[in-house]
Amino acid sequence: MKLALSSVFVAMLVLAGCANPLNRVTSDNYARDCSTAESRGQLKVAEEACYRALVNVDIGNLGQELKSQRLYNLARIKRQLAKFAEAEQLLKESLLIEEKQTPVSDQRIGRRLVELSVNLAGQNKWDEGTQYLQRVLPLAGQFSGFERAYIVEVLSQYAQHFRTKKNSALAEQYEAQAEKLRKS
């Protein structure tokens, strides 16, 4: 009897360490709900759904890549809700995961860097946001469509901010980079 009970316990431990397909389906469903709610402007609903999607990644041991994406999605919602400190922490955690992935994805890293710069600007931490925005510049040409337009807008906002702060060198750098992206 003891052998059978210990075998069941060992089997449970092995299963607990494996990715759980039920948690994957649940996480994906919550992620879809989050996206739908966001597109409808229901940010509180989106926040809850994104949070639940993230929790299921952790419970199901679904991997760092998916965790990074769920962190990023939740952070974007929190930024839109002006929960900047929470968003900043989530974005930094997601960025850290992305920087450790093999192979490294410049686009995923770039998205997180841009979001961090926007989030920090929302907290009036423009100087701190600059360090993330500077890291995006070499990657910016890899983006297209809406993402490229978003980066152009972020660069323009940073340029405008630094122009009012009498930092014309930084303002000109961001204006030039924005213009370069518009034309290419």
The mean per-residue pLDDT over the stretch 105-113 comes to: 97
- CATH number of the domain enclosing 20: 1.20.58
* Residues 112 and 173 placed together within one structural domain of the fold: yes
Measured torsion, CA atoms of residues 165, 138, 98, 47, in degrees rounded to the nearest 10: 50
Distance between CA atoms of residues 133 and 150, nearest Å: 12
Q: Are residues 181 and 113 in the same domain?
A: yes
Average pLDDT of span 155-166: 96
The type of residue at 94 is S
Q: Which residues of 135-155 are buried (b: 16+ CB within 10 A; e: fewer)?
A: bbbebbeebeeeebeebbebb
- Contact present, 142 and 107 (Cβ < 8 Å): yes
On whether residue 48 sits in a domain, the answer given is yes
Same-domain pairing of 110 and 157: yes
pTM here? 0.86
Cα–Cα distance between 5 and 8 in angstroms, integer? 5
Mean residue pLDDT across the chain:
92
Q: Does a structural domain hold residue 5?
A: no
Mean pLDDT for the stretch of residues 139-156: 96
d(CA 107, CA 112): 9
- Has residue 175 got a pLDDT over 70? yes
Domain total in the chain: 2
CATH of the domain at 157: 1.25.40
> Are 74 and 117 contained in the same domain?
no
The whole-number average pLDDT for the span 30-55 is 98
| Model confidence at 174: pLDDT above 60 | yes
- Its domain, for residue 178, covers 105-184
Cβ–Cβ under 8 Å, residues 118 and 78: no
pLDDT score for 10: 45
